[in-house]
């Protein structure tokens, strides 16, 4: 035991004298969190800038005007930035990706609708964009339904009005009053739906946690657990690498020349890796709180979970180093393994945005249980019951990999008494 | 005998290329990791992109009237999987709740509210599309109903009339006064609904290609750019290592000048990047089945120019640091930042306008734009002239800066 503690003390001193590599690894989670936060903001809301839409009106009739005015009013005006162009200019701008979509109103659009003939709006979407053109498509389809409905409802009065205009004479008073009589009930009927909202649609979200709906929701809290785990795994990796390096440089064989058991040395190396990773993690948590404003939740639950997570990181690294022969092999293999564990475990992009299949895969990665546990503690303020499976899995993996890792390292190092 | 600088450059390049491809770790990072990333990101965002198309809308219709039936029929014409019953244990993601008296209230012109209930973790994009679709279907149903009501008023049906500027009565009131009217209303309503729409929307994509980037179509180009960037920026770290270990100083005994050495190193890494680019594009095409547009040659050219610009940046970067550990960590953070800000991680359309401008400050932003011009728009070499020129400009500037800054020994 004394040997293990001496190794821990010695390693800690060494790391303090030359902390560059650990600090550099700390930069990864901090840089990642800061970057995503800068782009998407503290609340993680994608604030869409105005969607640039080009509109080529080759019709210039009432229906085209209805469409244009409809898109320039109310909430749509806040969402869409419409620029009127001619078709050729619009197509040319779209071919250069200068707008999200182009709406082309064909010549004779109004006349066709008034004649009761089908008319088609052409929507050209920017293939470089996946989301904004879809929004424009939804809006255009809705506007098309509105024009369709209006044209059908007012079909009779419009027909009469067109008859009057094409009759080649002034309309008679009786014709005008007849026209008004036709239009009035229709206006009254529509008013019922528009002004009195006879039929309305209410949206509600089921079981939404208060924290996510709340303005105080911190997007950094969603991002940082994942990026933090990447940093912690890399720090465990570089600290556990000492075993390999010291074996290659002959330091270990000198240690084993003394009255030291290999078990003690391995325990010491794992303990010092644990201590250094724990300090790094504590630093990240403090920076997360002070720099990114993350409320980490219950300190006790956080401590228990983080303690197990770091044990797991060190255990996984000890296990992997049990198989690795040289530093070159470690250079080649370990970052790849770490990144794969992290990518599939939801460290690079939140588990919440993955599809169902990827979510199932994520649960096979130990990273998921660390990250999800941290999110439950900090975002959902989950109780012990909420994180019990996470703790069980994290501590279970820690135990198994540490034991297997220690045995593997012992076999690889040999030496000692 | 004087050896020409071109020969020295090619010798250094060939040597660096050989040494790089012999390292197992480098091979994993250059060839295996990008594929892993492409797979993970592609799978994650393929489901995201297809969420609307595959989205399910459960309808809880407590009403037995014809108006609600019409509404459900209309919903079936929208791109959703409309279901009315769920299998045991199946969870409803989003549910439209139609109240029991819906038809009666609509016909009676009384206020009625439909509820669109969404699960907490339902796809946001699909939710928004469902909202819009339900509203559109409601509009269609209501407009046909107004037509029926207007016809009833025109026909002076008892129980519904215009009193001054407002409406008196309703179809429900009228149907209560005349038995059998409700059936007639339903027939009229259904015949109006059967008429084809007057206004339709035809959607197409600009350019020559017809592929909207999503899933692998989006993850392959993004990760291709990010990993080529990594390959090249880390060449800067190698220069720092070679300087600290004295390898660069040994070059001073050769007839090679500083710029010649630098160009040799750069060319060696570009050769590695070229192999990487071709490999990853082939993986994209044949494994992930993405479209490479109509000009794969232009794509390889653009990416090679990108490799030159970022390689030059890497060499310049390497010339700034003395400690290999420092340059390694700073390189990781720099490549991640350049990739994210250049649009390799997420679609640049989603970021605020300021970040769209910022993306063009990095070679990654120009590379992604050029890639989209080839893959998404289907253009060829002439369409990427500006992107390639800017990337080459970045490269030349960094080569000049690096050759000014590079020291062969500490």
Suggest the residue from A81, A126, A130, A182 to mutate for an interface test with chain B (most B CBs closer than 10 A). A130
| Burial class of residue A54 in the structure, from the number of CB atoms within 10 Å of its CB (0-12 exposed, 13-18 middle, 19+ buried) | buried
Kindly report, residue by residue over B384-393, the tens digit of the pLDDT.
999 999 999 9
What residue in B sits closest to A206 (Cα-Cα)? B119
Cα–Cα distance for residue pair B281/B335, rounded to 1 Å: 20
Instruction: Tell me: ipTM over 0.85.
Output: no
**CB distance from A19 to chain B under 8 Å?**
no
Q: How far is A269 from chain B (nearest CA, A)?
A: 22
Task: pLDDT band for A417, please (50, 70, 90 cuts).
Answer: very low
What residue in B sits closest to A203 (Cα-Cα)? B116
Name the β-bridge partners of B168. Answer: B161
Which one of B33, B198, B325 has the shortest CB-CB distance to A21?
B325
Task: pLDDT band for A394, please (50, 70, 90 cuts).
Answer: very high
Query: Is the pLDDT assigned to residue B241 strictly greater than 60?
Result: yes
Instruction: Please tell me the predicted confidence (pLDDT) of residue B47.
Output: 52
The structural architecture, per CATH, of the domain A51-194 is 3-Layer(aba) Sandwich (3.40)
Other C-beta atoms closer than 10 Å to the C-beta of A66 total 17
Which one of B37, B128, B207 has the shortest CB-CB distance to A95?
B207
| Burial class of residue A124 in the structure, from the number of CB atoms within 10 Å of its CB (0-12 exposed, 13-18 middle, 19+ buried) | buried
| Contact check, Cβ <8 Å, A209/B120 | yes
Name the β-bridge partners of A81. Answer: A52
pLDDT, average across residues B226-239: 81
Cα–Cα distance for residue pair B106/B171, rounded to 1 Å: 9
**CB distance from A122 to chain B under 8 Å?**
yes
Q: Give kind and range of the element (H or E) at residue B384.
A: none
Which chain A residues are within 8 Å of B339, Cβ to Cβ? none
Other C-beta atoms closer than 10 Å to the C-beta of A359 total 17
Kindly report, residue by residue over B34-57, the tens digit of the pLDDT.
998 888 888 876 655 555 556 788
Other C-beta atoms closer than 10 Å to the C-beta of A255 total 20
Kindly report, residue by residue over A194-228, the tens digit of the pLDDT.
776 778 888 887 764 444 444 466 788 888 999 99
Considering only residues 355 to 384 of chain A, which have any Cβ-Cβ distance to chain B shorter than 8 Å? 355-358, 361
Report strand pairing: B56-61 vs A119-125.
unpaired
Q: How far is A380 from chain B (nearest CA, A)?
A: 13
What residue in A sits closest to B127 (Cα-Cα)? A203
Name the β-bridge partners of B82. Answer: B57
Which chain A residues are within 8 Å of B114, Cβ to Cβ? 199-202
Q: How far is A102 from chain B (nearest CA, A)?
A: 9
Tell me the count of A-B CB pairs closer than 8 A. 311
What residue in B sits closest to A180 (Cα-Cα)? B165
**CB distance from B106 to chain A under 8 Å?**
yes
| Contact check, Cβ <8 Å, B44/A353 | yes
Suggest the residue from A115, A180, A189 to mutate for an interface test with chain B (most B CBs closer than 10 A). A189
State the sign of the Cα–Cα–Cα–Cα dihedral A93, B220, A367, A348.
negative
Instruction: Please tell me the predicted confidence (pLDDT) of residue A312.
Output: 96
Considering only residues 29 to 48 of chain A, which have any Cβ-Cβ distance to chain B shorter than 8 Å? 31-32, 35-36, 39-40, 46-48
A359 touches A379 (CB < 8 A): no
**CB distance from B329 to chain A under 8 Å?**
yes
Which residue's entry shows tokens 């994650």? B44
**CB distance from A210 to chain B under 8 Å?**
no
> What is the token pair recorded at B83?
């279901």
Q: How far is A6 from chain B (nearest CA, A)?
A: 27
Residue predicted with more confidence, A235 or B1: A235
Cα–Cα distance for residue pair A374/A29, rounded to 1 Å: 15
Task: Indicate the domain borders of chain A.
Answer: 2-42+219-413, 51-194
Mapping DSSP to helix (H, G, I), strand (E, B) and coil, where does residue A351 land?
helix
B69 alpha carbon, distance to own chain's centre: 37
Least confident span in B107-111, B353-357, B404-408: B404-408
Kindly report, residue by residue over A92-121, the tens digit of the pLDDT.
999 888 899 999 999 999 989 888 899 999
Cα–Cα distance for residue pair A299/B174, rounded to 1 Å: 68
Percent over 90 (pLDDT), chain B: 27
Cα–Cα distance for residue pair A324/A330, rounded to 1 Å: 6
> What is the token pair recorded at A361?
């895969």
| Contact check, Cβ <8 Å, A147/B202 | no
pLDDT, average across residues B3-25: 83
| Contact check, Cβ <8 Å, A138/B196 | no
Least confident span in A177-186, A400-409, B98-107: A177-186
Cα–Cα distance for residue pair B391/B384, rounded to 1 Å: 11
**CB distance from A327 to chain B under 8 Å?**
no
Kindly report, residue by residue over A218-255, the tens digit of the pLDDT.
788 888 999 999 999 999 998 888 888 888 888 888 87
């Amino acid at each position: 035991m004394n040997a293990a503690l001496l190794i821990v003390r010695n390693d800690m001193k060494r790391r303090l004298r030359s902390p560059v590599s650990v600090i550099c690894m700390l930069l990864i989670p901090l840089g990642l969190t800061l970057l995503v936060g800068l782009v998407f903001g503290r609340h993680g809301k994608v604030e869409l800038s105005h969607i640039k839409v080009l509109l080529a009106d080759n019709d210039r009739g009432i229906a085209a005007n209805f469409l244009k005015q409809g898109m320039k009013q109310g909430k749509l005006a806040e969402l869409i930035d419409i620029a009127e162009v001619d078709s050729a200019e619009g197509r040319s701008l779209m071919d250069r990706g200068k707008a999200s979509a182009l709406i082309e109103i064909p010549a004779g659009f109004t006349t066709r609708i008034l004649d009761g003939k089908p008319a088609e709006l052409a929507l050209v979407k920017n293939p470089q964009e996946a989301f904004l053109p879809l929004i424009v498509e939804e809006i255009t389809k809705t506007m098309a339904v509105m024009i369709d409905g209006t044209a059908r409802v007012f079909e009779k009065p419009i027909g009469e009005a067109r008859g009057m205009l094409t009759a080649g004479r002034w309309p008679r008073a009786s014709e005008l009053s007849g026209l008004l009589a036709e239009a009035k009930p229709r206006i009254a009927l529509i008013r019922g739906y528009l002004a009195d909202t006879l039929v309305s649609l209410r949206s509600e979200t089921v079981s939404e946690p208060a924290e996510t709906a709340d303005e105080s929701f911190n997007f950094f809290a969603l991002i940082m657990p994942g990026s933090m785990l990447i940093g912690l795994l890399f720090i465990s990796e570089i600290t556990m690498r000492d075993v390999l390096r010291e074996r290659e440089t002959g330091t270990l064989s000198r240690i084993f020349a003394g009255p030291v058991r290999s078990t003690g040395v391995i325990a010491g190396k794992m303990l010092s890796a644990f201590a250094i990773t724990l300090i790094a993690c504590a630093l990240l948590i403090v920076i997360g709180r002070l720099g990114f404003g993350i409320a980490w939740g219950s300190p006790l639950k956080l401590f228990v979970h983080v303690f197990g997570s770091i044990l797991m990181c060190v255990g996984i690294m000890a296990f992997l180093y049990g198989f690795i022969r040289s530093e070159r092999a470690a250079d080649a293999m370990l970052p790849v393994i770490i990144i794969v564990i992290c990518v599939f475990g939801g460290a690079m992009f939140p588990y919440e945005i993955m599809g169902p299949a990827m979510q199932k895969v994520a649960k096979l990665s130990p990273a998921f249980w660390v990250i999800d546990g941290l999110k439950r503690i900090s975002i959902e303020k989950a109780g012990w019951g909420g994180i019990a499976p996470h703790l069980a899995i994290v501590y279970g993996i820690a135990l198994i990999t540490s034991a297997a890792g220690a045995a593997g390292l012992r076999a690889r190092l040999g030496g000692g008494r | 005998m004087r050896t020409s600088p071109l020969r020295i450059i090619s010798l250094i390049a060939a040597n660096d290329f050989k040494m790089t491809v012999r390292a197992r770790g480098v091979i994993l990072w250059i060839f295996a990791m990008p594929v892993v990333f492409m797979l993970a990101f592609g799978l994650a965002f393929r489901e995201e992109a297809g969420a609307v198309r595959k989205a399910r809308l459960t309808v809880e219709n407590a009403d037995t009237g014809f108006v609600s039936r019409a509404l459900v029929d209309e919903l079936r014409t929208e791109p959703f999987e409309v279901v009315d019953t769920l299998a045991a244990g199946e969870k409803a993601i989003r549910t439209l709740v139609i109240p029991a008296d819906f038809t009666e209230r609509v016909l009676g012109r009384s206020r009625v509210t439909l509820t669109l209930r969404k699960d907490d973790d339902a796809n946001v994009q699909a939710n928004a599309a469902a909202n819009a679709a339900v509203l559109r279907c409601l509009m269609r149903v209501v407009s046909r109903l107004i037509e029926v009501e207007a016809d009833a008023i025109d026909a002076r049906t008892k129980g519904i009339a215009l009193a001054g500027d407002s409406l008196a009565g309703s179809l429900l009131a009228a149907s209560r006064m005349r038995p059998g009217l409700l059936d007639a209303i339903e027939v009229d309503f259904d015949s109006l609904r059967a008429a084809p729409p007057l206004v339709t929307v035809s959607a197409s994509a600009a350019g020559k290609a017809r592929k909207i980037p999503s899933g692998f179509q989006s993850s392959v180009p993004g990760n291709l750019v990010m990993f080529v960037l990594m390959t090249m920026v880390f060449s800067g770290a190698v220069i720092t290592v070679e300087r600290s270990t004295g390898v660069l100083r040994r070059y001073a005994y050769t007839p090679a000048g500083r710029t010649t050495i630098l160009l040799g190193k750069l060319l060696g890494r570009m050769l590695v990047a070229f192999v990487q680019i071709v490999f990853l594009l082939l993986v994209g095409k044949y494994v992930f089945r993405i479209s490479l547009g109509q000009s794969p040659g232009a794509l390889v050219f653009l990416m090679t120019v990108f490799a030159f610009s970022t390689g030059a940046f890497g060499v310049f970067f390497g010339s700034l640091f003395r400690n290999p550990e420092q340059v390694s960590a700073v390189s990781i953070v720099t490549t991640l930042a350049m990739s994210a800000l250049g649009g390799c991680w997420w679609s640049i359309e989603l970021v605020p306008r300021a970040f769209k401008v910022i993306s063009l400050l990095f070679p990654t932003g120009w590379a992604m734009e050029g890639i989209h011009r080839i893959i998404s728009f289907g253009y060829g070499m002439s369409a990427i002239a500006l992107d390639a020129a800017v990337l080459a400009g970045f490269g030349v500037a960094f080569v000049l800066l690096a050759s000014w800054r590079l020291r062969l020994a500490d």
